[in-house]
Amino acid sequence: MTLLVTLGLFLTLLAVITGFGYHAYARPARMYQHVGRRPPAASAILVERKKPAGEAMAKWFRQIGGMLPISPQDAKGTRHDLITAGWRSDTALQVYYGVKLVLSAGLLLLVLLLRDQLTSNPMLRIVLVIGGGLVGFIAPSFLLRKRIARRQDSLRMGLPDGLDLLVISVEAGMGLDQAI
């Protein structure tokens, strides 16, 4: 059983790293855009028009998150955090709460199903089930805070370059509107 769990974890990690590498580094169109050239036109016969994979999941999460009763104070604070993280969509709040609910229920169910294989201690089985639900509930908030911090750091690091470019543009004779 341990070998199967290890193999499953390895294959999942392999798929995630491969997918990320393909989308971030290996796509030719992104490489051409980075270089500044237009990508060669593909034949219309070979290219199928399909919706992005994340769009269907976001719609599903939005529907689930839309069913949850959210207090206005919580919604206001969470919406502010989502905007600070860079997600300004009108549906970002519903998607966030949908992800939170699905992840919490999914991890709770997964740990509930695998608790007998994970440990033989009855007290630890109960703790694992509760911990799985809590991790699923807390993980989206933790990841949101990390994204906020990363975005604030990138803005903080980019501010000196932006101000320098603004000063150079104004000193060269541009108006403030044009320089901005």
Contact in structure between 105 and 91 (CB atoms under 8 Å): no
**Do 29 and 108 share a domain, yes or no?**
no
Q: How many CB atoms lie within 10 A of CB 134?
A: 13
**Do 44 and 61 share a domain, yes or no?**
no
What whole-number distance in Å separates Cα of residue 179 and Cα of residue 13? 46
**Do 140 and 121 share a domain, yes or no?**
yes
Reading the block at residue 18, the tokens are 């491969």
**Do 30 and 110 share a domain, yes or no?**
no
Q: Of 34, 49, 64, at which residue does a domain stop? A: 49
**Do 21 and 64 share a domain, yes or no?**
no
Give me the helices (H) in 22-121, please: 28-35, 53-66, 72-85, 92-118
**Do 117 and 131 share a domain, yes or no?**
yes
Distance of CA 134 to the CA centre of its chain: 19
Residue burial 24-54, b: 16+ Cβ < 10 Å; e: rest: eeeeeeeeeeeeeeeeeeeeeeeeeeeeeee
Tens digit of each residue's pLDDT (9 = 90 or more) over 71-112? 889 899 999 999 999 999 888 999 999 999 999 999 999 998
Q: Of 49, 66, 83, at which residue does a domain stop? A: 49
Instruction: Report pLDDT for 46.
Output: 46
**Do 69 and 120 share a domain, yes or no?**
yes
**Do 37 and 73 share a domain, yes or no?**
no
Residue burial 135-169, b: 16+ Cβ < 10 Å; e: rest: ebbeebeeebeebbeeeeeeeeeeeeeeeeeeeee
Q: What is the pTM of this model?
A: 0.62
**Do 135 and 70 share a domain, yes or no?**
yes
* Domain range for 4: 1-49
Instruction: Report pLDDT for 28.
Output: 56
**Do 140 and 57 share a domain, yes or no?**
yes
Query: What is the count of structural domains for the chain?
Result: 2
Tens digit of each residue's pLDDT (9 = 90 or more) over 62-82? 888 888 888 889 899 999 999
**Do 55 and 144 share a domain, yes or no?**
yes
Report, as an integer, the average pLDDT of 40-66: 69
Sign of the alpha-carbon dihedral angle for 156, 159, 160, 161: positive
**Do 19 and 71 share a domain, yes or no?**
no
Contact in structure between 115 and 129 (CB atoms under 8 Å): yes
